Amino acid sequence: MQMNILIPRVLLFFAAAVIPAAVSAQTAVNEVHWPFSSEQSSSPVDSVHGVAGKLEGKFQYVPGVTGDALRLDGYTTSMTVAASEIPAMGPGGFTLEAWVALNTYPWNWVPIADQEAQRQAGYFFGIDAFGHVALGASIDGQWHSAVSTVTVPLKQWAHLAGTYQTDPANNGQGILTVYMNGERIAQTPVQGSFSPAKVDLLVGRVRQPALPFPEAEVKPPHAVWYSLDGILDELRIFGRARSGQEIAQDYAAVSAPKGDVLPWQKMPSGPIGPGRFGAYYASLRYEEPWDRLRQIGPNADVVVRFDESPTRLVFWQGLNYVPAWVSGDDKWSTNEFLEVWDSGCPDGGDCEPMSDKQSLFSHVEILESNEVRAVVHWRYALIETVGFKGAWHDPLTGWTDWADEYWTIYPDGVAVRKQVIHTARVNAVREWQETIILNQPGQRPEDNINPDAVTLGNMQGATKTYTWQKNPAGAFADPIGPADTSTPPNVNMQLVNLRSEWKPFQIVPPDGVSSDFYNNEKSYFLFECWNHWPVAQIASSDRPCVTNDRPSHSSVSHLFWKPYAETDDTATKILLNGLTTSSLPELIPLAKSWLTPPPLELQSNSYRSEGYDPAQRAYLISGAKPAGEGAAAPLRLVFHASETSPLFHMAILIRNWGGNDASLVLDGRPVPWGKEFRKSLVPGLDSTDLLLWIETRSSKPVQVEIRSATAM
């Protein structure tokens, strides 16, 4: 897979220090070599002198360049070796070598081998957030480094080496050199004596928490623990400087597997293609090292499938259960969640479910799943990412902001999202919708989003498509997006122009709607891009993508509209959304059917109409007889559809129907059960309701008769 690695500059590699350190008292051992064998479990043993390391965190043994190798998980894995067991660095220098296959680039500098003390003594051999390789060392108490301009490839084996060579007889003239696959890739001259550190050797993990790169852009500025994410094999340390020829011979002596040895993982969305309609609990696996970090049991995720479409709606823990639409060609999008920031969030941060990396305050459940519809409930707290403190704390009750989202999904692939915020500050500013595209590992935002990214429209059929322009190659700058969303007037519909046949759409009630575009945070790409979410386990709410190695997300717009309902301590908004192959003007009949549904005329005295509920996208009817009094009477309805109030598929919920089957007559024509007419009995605590789905479109009145099986 082709990677997009933008290298505007080599990361700043550790400031110089000026305080010399004492030389450590080490043994006369001059070489150690850890080939990593699964038989040694958490205590890898050096093959030369039997020096044992100690593995901590989550790790696995996997096939290496020869035999086994160590798979590090990117967060917790490390190996330590006592300082007394490491080779004494001779007067002529030292050498470090290892085979590495990176799964992702680290959040910032991560060691392959680190035996340094606050950049005042010792050495560091590691990789940065772009994949550059560096050897740093304290020379006469000052830190010097050789940093490559080329980068380590992802997923493939690379032989990396660093040497420090010096001549004490020549005023300490020396040189730091870095090699990859037998070739020199960096070199820095130094002068003076190496200052060893009296610290244990640390392999594969940062010695102290560090800010992800770029440090100035990360929010909150919270240092995080992380490790190398990939495979490490054949780690060797020599107490002398080896020559370039020896390094090249070491590389050539091993026939490492060619090509990708680590897969390009994909965020999981369940079985591909159409399937039986409904919502299903599932165990969606990402990759074993990541899955091993999760303390969540099986069947904790939810997938909604459609029988007439390859699309899916996914509630996955790797997204903190944020609902995501997935097209048949694996393009992911979401309409975000409720969010509070600045003064409403403790410490001025971002309070949102995106911050809940362990899903401590976020869970999903299926309330209903049958032939007619699926109803999924997602409940979450709006929390910040470091201390999990909630938004708008109420000192009287102790509660903070919580949200309930009810997703009602029908077989035509259209869903109503009903969001309810529970809060002591109903009128506080919040974000209810953000148009987010999710990028798989290896993808850039522009691989998923067309430059003409967003089309806005209104109920009169007027539309305008907005385009993003390219920044200079390699620039880390604000995206060049549209300046405003002033046309067309009275916008209440949006289409996101993904590079897919299936495109996300959003429809909101037209009263008081506004919108804006996302262009105010720096990016290396055509659109803004962040990879602190999804999947990532670092405590961060804003980390710009450096490369396209990890799952990431990009935002292009917001919609703002008025609440559907309010109480003293709740506010509710509703949004019609899904994936479509239609244009915005072609979606107007759907929008009208939801916003101005056809009036319903009830022609049966045994029933009572409760009207149309846009939060369910359904007509509600109550039975006049108490539950359990035999078969329901025939129900006759007239839907007075028109050009301004068309029918575009309809759902009917009949309360207290009873346990009998039902048949449908549509405009005098019996309709057999099937995809055009779906039905389901929904048992409750003290009654049984009947749900109907009638797949018909009309701008003229439509007559419907529903009969109980025993009344026919």
According to the model, what pLDDT value does residue 20 have?
29
Q: 96-105, 127-136, 458-467, 513-522: lowest mean pLDDT where?
A: 513-522
Confidence (pLDDT) at 625: 54
- Kindly give, in sequence order, each residue whose CB lies less than 8 Å from that of residue 50, ignoring residues fewer than 6 positions away: none
Q: Percent of the chain scored above 70 by pLDDT?
A: 94
The pLDDT value recorded for residue 709 is: 76
Q: What percent of the chain has pLDDT over 90?
A: 89
- By mean pLDDT, which of 84-93, 235-244, 527-536, 593-602 is the weakest? 84-93
What is the pLDDT, as a whole number, of residue 128? 98
Closest Cα to residue 663, out of 619, 704, 612?
704
> For 407-464, how does the pLDDT look when each residue is reduced to its tens digit (9 = 90+)?
999 999 999 999 999 999 999 999 999 999 999 999 999 999 999 999 999 999 999 9
Nearest to 44 by CA among 67, 75, 74: 67
* pLDDT, tens digit, 9 for 90 and up, residues 157-209: 999 999 999 987 788 899 999 999 999 999 999 999 999 999 999 999 999 99
Query: Omega before 488 cis (within 30°)?
Result: yes
- Across the chain, mean pLDDT equals 93
Rg (the chain; Cα; Å): 31
Q: Is the dihedral of CA 489, 494, 499, 503 positive or negative?
A: negative
* Per-residue pLDDT, 629: 53
* Mean pLDDT computed over 64-69: 97
Distance, CA of 313 to CA of 360 (rounded, Å):
22
pLDDT digits (tens, 9 = 90+) for 271-326: 999 999 999 999 999 999 999 999 999 999 999 999 999 999 999 999 999 999 99
pLDDT, residue 413, reads: 98
State CA 345 to chain mean position distance: 22
Structural domains in the chain, CATH included, are 31-252 (2.60.120.200), 278-580 (2.70.98), 596-711 (2.60.40)
Most confidently predicted of 29-43, 558-572, 628-642, 698-712: 558-572
Question: What per-residue confidence (pLDDT) applies to 710?
Answer: 61
What number of other Cβ atoms are within 10 A of residue 386's Cβ? 16
Could you tell me if 297 and 318 are in contact, meaning their C-beta atoms sit under 8 angstroms apart? no
On the CB side of 229, how many CA atoms lie within 13 Å of its CA? 26
Q: From the centroid of its chain, how far is CA 704?
A: 45
Alpha carbon distance, N-terminus to C-terminus of the chain: 62
User: Rounded to whole angstroms, what are the CA distances from 347 to 103, 261, 350, 370, 482?
Assistant: 34, 43, 9, 45, 32
Mean pLDDT of the region 21-48:
77
Specify which of 13-17, 169-173, 703-707 reaches the highest per-range mean pLDDT: 703-707
- Whether this prediction's pTM lies above 0.85 is answered by yes
- Residues 549-593: tens digit of each pLDDT: 999 999 999 999 999 999 999 999 999 999 999 999 999 999 999
pLDDT at site 540: 96
Residue 168's CB is within 10 A of a number of other CB atoms, namely 12
pLDDT for residue 674 is more than 70: yes
